[in-house]
Amino acid sequence: MESANILGVRVDKVSMLQAVSLVESWLKEKNCKKYIVTPNPEFIMAAQKDEEFKKVLNKSDLAIPDGAGLKLASDIVCTIPGVDFLEELCKESSEKGFTVGFLGGQNGVAKEAAECLQKKYSGLTVIFSEDGPKINLDGEPEDQKIRRSEDQNVSDSPIFRFSDIPVDILFVGFGQIKQEKWIVKNLDKIPAKVAMGVGGSFDYLSGRVPRAPIFMRNLGLEWLFRLILQPWRIKRQLALLRFLFLIRFT
């Protein structure tokens, strides 16, 4: 698979079809342990200041190009929004019999997203859907205390709570940087063949937050629609301006 190097971050030159086919091939392996990242300009700018995050991105098994801005910095032709890739993997799983899990978000949004996808893809088997713990920028739970259940004698941590239930694909929505670091630190501890950081995708798939109209997505303006709905994202969007500056003058 060819890849582009954008400000020191590897981004794979892959289409939706190629990416889905690759994941399907992984899931047919017996001892598969892979993780997927979704680098966009915001990820790449964060990696300029966080060397650990950069290493996590560059060592990933698949780095899908998420963000139209990547086309300005390389010869990448296809971009794949992470939320669309998540849904395509769920569609494929419903048809091929793969199982999925949802971890992250707040106030039951993971469960809502899972239910919405099951209504859309009737054959989808969801093993796990839970908010999970709050994770810090080091990829660690904010509350390090392990509370034991008197009845089950297991930890309240999601890692332990579903550790006996295998899942083919685990979607993790703890937020950028946090989720990628958490995945790398815990993939060997959880019975998931493939793990993918999905950011705020659960909010969109559950219907809590509307997505941009198709024409805006096709024009690469989904970021603008998000900014209109969520003005607080302006600080995060400033990363795009810094990204454009760096690729133009470095």
Domain-located, residue 37: yes
* Local structure of residue 44 (DSSP, 8 states): H
In a domain, 225, yes or no: no
How far, in Å, CA of 172 to CA of 101, rounded?
A: 8
pLDDT confidence of residue 205: 95
Per-residue pLDDT at 161:
62
Residue 241: CB atoms within 10 A of its CB come to 11
Q: Is residue 189 domain-resident?
A: yes
Position 230 in a domain:
no
Share of the chain above pLDDT 90, in %: 65
- The model's pTM: 0.87
Output the pLDDT for position 90.
Answer: 98
Strands 3-6 and 9-12: antiparallel
pLDDT of res. 155 = 42
Q: Is residue 164 part of a domain?
A: yes
In this structure, is residue 244 part of a structural domain?
Answer: no
On whether residue 175 sits in a domain, the answer given is yes
Q: Using N-to-C axis directions, what is the helix angle for 41-49 and 234-249, rounded to 10°? A: 80
What is the domain count for the chain?
1
Parent domain of 70: 3-137+152-206
To 5 degrees, how large is the angle CA 83–CA 185–CA 146?
A: 105
Q: What is the pLDDT confidence band of residue 160, given thresholds at 50, 70 and 90?
A: low
Judge whether 156 lies within some domain: yes
Q: Which amino acid type is present at position 215?
A: F
Mean pLDDT of the chain, nearest integer: 87
